[in-house]
Amino acid sequence: MKITKIGSVIYVLTGEEMNSNATLITCEDRVMLVDGFAGSHDAAELQNFIQLELKKELKLIVCTHYFSDHMAAFPLFRPVPIIAHQYYEHTFTTEAYRNQEKKTRFVTPAITFSDEMTIHWGSNTLNLFYNPGHTLSTIAIDIPEADTIIMGDHSVGNIVYLYYSTPLMIKRALENIKSRNRSRIIAGHDGVSGIEKIENSLIYLDKLERSVKEAYSIGGINRIKEIKVEQCLANTAKVVDFDEIFHSKNLKAIIDRGLFFESL
């Protein structure tokens, strides 16, 4: 588990499994958690970190989106209340590629909201707002005092993941995050990033659209299958593991649903 500290009260923990992030925000003897890791081993380490290192009590959990790669720790902390968007159930029940063990991570949120919510937590103000994109129920948490925004998975690696969404929804979500003008981005995976993570994802979307339209006009669907992730990346971005995996799933979604070259 890798730990990055932001100021004196925010800890961003990055787990071994899928590099999922879990963010802790302390306030006196209490702590709040945003997202809860992909792996059971990581979740157990998180529990130890809170109890043995921080020596604080977990009082509140916020979940950016109800996918199992961010929920491993939730059952460990029952009955700590979880806050999520009111459409959390849509996200959990549409998740693909999930085994039986991951289904048992489901804990019903105690509090749901539709548009926005503010939590005053010690020296920080947490502005939670609805920002659908990667999933229909994704929320973001803007923390102005820390110049930081936690956003979920609208951006993965240097790209976006279209499987559960549409290009326009993800573009709007990324632009919403960008408009907040924060220096630090905490996405669902890979620790703390700068604003370039958003820029890279927007460039990928744009280049992907152009590549799909061009490929389709030249050689139809078979030509779309040949689009390489490298030709859609921002010039400054280097291919990372997530890029290859999710780009190939994007091409499948594009072909299955006619994204970019049919209705959208």
Strand partners, 31: 26, 58
Out of 139, 184, 188, 204, name the contact with Zn ion by CB under 5 A: 188
Contact region for Zn ion (CB under 5 A) — 4-12, 94-102, 141-149, 187-195? 187-195
Q: Is the dihedral of CA 163, 1, 89, 82 positive or negative?
A: negative
Contact region for Zn ion (CB under 5 A) — 73-81, 133-141, 182-190, 194-202? 182-190
Binding mask of the shown chain, residues 113 to 152, with x at each position contacting Zn ion by CB under 5 A: ----------------------------------------
CB 203 within 8 A of CB 155: no
Nearer to Zn ion, 72 or 254 (CB): 72
Question: Which residue is closest to Zn ion by CB?
Answer: 188
CA–CA separation, 170 vs 153, rounded Å?
A: 10
Binding mask of the shown chain, residues 217 to 246, with x at each position contacting Zn ion by CB under 5 A: ------------------------------
CA–CA separation, 147 vs 182, rounded Å?
A: 5
Pairing mode, if any, of strands 139-143 and 148-152? antiparallel
Out of 35, 42, 45, 69, name the contact with Zn ion by CB under 5 A: 69
CA–CA separation, 238 vs 257, rounded Å?
A: 28
Strand partners, 145: none
Out of 153, 190, 209, 243, name the contact with Zn ion by CB under 5 A: 153
How many residues bind to Zn ion according to rule CB under 5 A?
A: 3
The alpha carbon of residue 184 and the mean position of all alpha carbons in its chain are separated, in whole angstroms, by 14
- Smallest gap, in angstroms, from Cβ of residue 137 to Zn ion? 13
- DSSP-derived 3-state class of residue 138: coil
Pairing mode, if any, of strands 82-85 and 57-62? parallel
Contact region for Zn ion (CB under 5 A) — 134-142, 153-161, 208-216, 217-225? 153-161
Binding to Zn ion by residue 35, rule CB under 5 A?
no
Nearer to Zn ion, 190 or 209 (CB): 190
Q: Give residue 28's region: left, alpha or beta (phi > 0; psi -120 to 50).
A: left
CA–CA separation, 124 vs 143, rounded Å?
A: 7
CB 237 within 8 A of CB 256: no
- Smallest gap, in angstroms, from Cβ of residue 54 to Zn ion? 24
Nearer to Zn ion, 26 or 64 (CB): 64
| Residues binding Zn ion (CB under 5 A) | 69, 153, 188
